[in-house]
Chains A and B, each alone.
Chain A
């Protein structure tokens, strides 16, 4: 992909310790971890939307939270997240905390602290999955939208009101005066999610993580919220990480898609590429599960290209983590030893289209 990467996630690992009982402690059993994100690498470019798809519990939300630094430092088990902030923020960080500046104008998200972190937070925002829970029920819309400005000491009362009103117009909640004094419970779900988007936009961020922003919304209002997001990306040249478990939606919204399975990206490529030519057996299974638009075809029972249940993220199998559920593994005895022995990395099968599967291992010369 062209352009500069605004965010670079490098081999990110987020592990959550499993709470141990007294008995475990006394028996000196080792500390176990949920490998929520287990070695994820990707970049998002300016003006691009990258979709993160995958089934429930595969670590999508955790990845997004890691990007906006909502994950505690001690849960970052490895890797780093690099961010390209705007010039003035970068200068500020260089001044206050030079050790958090990585190469080529990037800052290391998890080295930042205090004022430097606060400055960088202006550049990264997140939209949460549940528009009913992500707005404080005791705050008026004005309070909700004004809070980021107050925290970052932007403008006086008048100016803040101006900014807030403008943002409300951006997300098509007009006239603003009508919405400002309301409480969240006085809004519809779609309106709330637009308020949540507005809050994320108030600070003019470069990077936006949108965690299933429409999954809780009625199908009828999904389109308008998605429209708002698409417009933003194009107008403001943002880098958006868009999380969904709906591949059809991903195709509509995204430039590229990353498919995640149990904390790892198993396939990464252009949206159309992935939908039309899925490489990884897991992606193939996902696409297989998309409901057929043609009513006739819908009646045909399709063979499920997956078996078994989701493996636990605590005790991962040796080798490929998808192996216990993989149909291709059963069908291709020649790669079985590879699958059992080693975890596959992302292999570039076609230009810009990667899959983590031994099926695509280049025969060595």
Chain B
């Protein structure tokens, strides 16, 4: 008896073994192997992306202000390995204080010599002073693209002196001490501020502060710089990190730069301020100094400074979701309707076929553009919802092809004598459809599913480029932005190539897999 029992397989083990056999067959096919490897990679990257990307990325992507710390329109960092000089992008968080104490006109030379001798200083410093200093090494002859200072003050701006509350005010000044010994005041608030107001300020460099003195200084050295104030504004970082060659020419000055962020406190007696700072009641939770490089990350940035790598990463799970969802849904619908149409025939068949005729003659693009416009107007719809509405329409308008093929396959299977045999037994229509017909069609359905994945992904990307946007940072969205800024984007290969390549590779992977499955289910196509 036990011998007979082994004959029986459970449904689960049947499915598992046929799946295993299927994957094995695909693996033995070269195209299938290549496709599978790429798809496994895509899946791994997608999982990695979902696990590591911040959940707020879609919102951040739309927010211009969120990207101010990033250099704009710079290529990826690895271009240095192809001989492109790269000024490193550096972020300094909570740098060391190199000085804190009371500065007077008498001791300033000793305490802050780089300030006392800097080009562009507006006033001499008196009061309690803290200096945060960092070093920046410029190894390659390349210009960094900016310096930005960001503050997170402790939420308090008063000190109590002899029982009287006093507002503390601060004046932040950034001095760059160059490798050639020259110091320049590159950034400074125009007047002292309440310390808590610094939370809302990003301090960036401006040539307004130093340009005249800079020109004079180099004129004495025999280099004539021809620049107006407005000219100078566009050359701030070149002037800071460069050696003037005359005219408007600069060459990068390599070496070690020291950046000194000087915070001058005023509004109360320096001793009282010092006490409050030492007690931790006044000052900063966090200070961040960013030297923007001329290259960034794995994939560079776009014209808004957005890190393209994040969107490339984000694009993986979205592409998979779009492709698989659209393909699975339209193939399932096509399979069910095709089988019903072919199996029941007659009026049902006629109605379904005419409906498909109508459906496949509806122009998809205008409808999707219409839907896109309607969605854009609707405020309450989230980006994922928009995406799935778009996919939904792709599915609704896209199942017809599968249904037609499945119908014709059903017609030929239905004519097989074993279907008659099943009917003679008394098997129900449901049983015949699910046990006899669908298992025959399933491999073809798998192939057509795999084949329709790239179509869906590329259509979604295409819609983004056409301006039908859901707002998620995807490959299509990157391309859409590049398209919108085509004037500058055509010089920025890192903006256009990677998303394009990702689309192509993903599409290729599924096509390879589809071809492999097709040769397996249809051995006549088998190549040697």
Q: Which residues of B contact A (CB under 8 A)?
A: 3-8, 416-418, 420-428, 431, 435-436, 439-440
Contacts and interface: CB of A to CB of B under 8 A. Distances in A.
A70 B415 CA distance: 12
Given A124-B424, A151-B425, A134 B418 contact: yes
B417 A165 contact: no
A104 B471 CA distance: 77
Given A142-B7, A151-B431, A177-B4, A134 B421 contact: yes
Contacts of A177: 3-4, 7
Contact of A161 (B4, B428, B431, B435): B4
Contacts of A125: 424-425
B4 A135 contact: no
Contacts of B417: 128-130, 133-134
Contact of A126 (B5, B6, B424, B439): B424
A277 interface: no
A125 B422 CA distance: 10
Interface residues of A, number: 35
22 contacts: A70-B423, A121-B426, A125-B424, A125-B425, A126-B420, A126-B424, A128-B420, A129-B417, A133-B417, A134-B420, A136-B418, A136-B436, A142-B8, A148-B426, A151-B426, A151-B428, A157-B8, A161-B4, A177-B4, A177-B7, A181-B6, A181-B7
Interface in A25-75: 65, 68-70
Most buried by A among B7, B420, B422, B425: B425
A180 B7 CA distance: 7
A350 interface: no
Interface of A: 65, 68-70, 117-118, 121-122, 124-126, 128-130, 133-136, 138, 140, 142, 147-148, 151-152, 157, 161, 165, 176-177, 180-181, 196, 199, 203
Given A134-B417, A148-B426, 16 more contacts: A65-B420, A70-B423, A133-B418, A134-B420, A136-B416, A138-B439, A147-B427, A151-B426, A152-B426, A161-B4, A165-B4, A180-B4, A180-B7, A181-B6, A181-B7, A199-B421
A126 B421 contact: yes
A148 B6 CA distance: 21
A148 B425 contact: yes
A215 to B, nearest CB: 13
Contact of A70 (B7, B424, B435): B424
B436 to A, nearest CB: 6
Contacts of B423: 70
Contacts of B427: 147, 151
Nearest to A137: B418
Most buried by A among B3, B6, B421, B440: B421
Nearest to B6: A181
Nearest to A147: B425
Nearest to B345: A72
A135 B98 CA distance: 89
A161 B5 CA distance: 9
A126 B422 CA distance: 10
A148 B426 CA distance: 8
A125 B425 CA distance: 7
A181 B436 CA distance: 18
Given A133-B416, A134-B417, A136-B436, A121 B8 contact: no
A299 to B, nearest CB: 41
Contacts of B426: 117-118, 121-122, 148, 151-152
A128 B3 contact: no
A180 B8 CA distance: 9
Contacts of A118: 426
Contact of A147 (B3, B416, B422): B422
Nearest to A133: B417
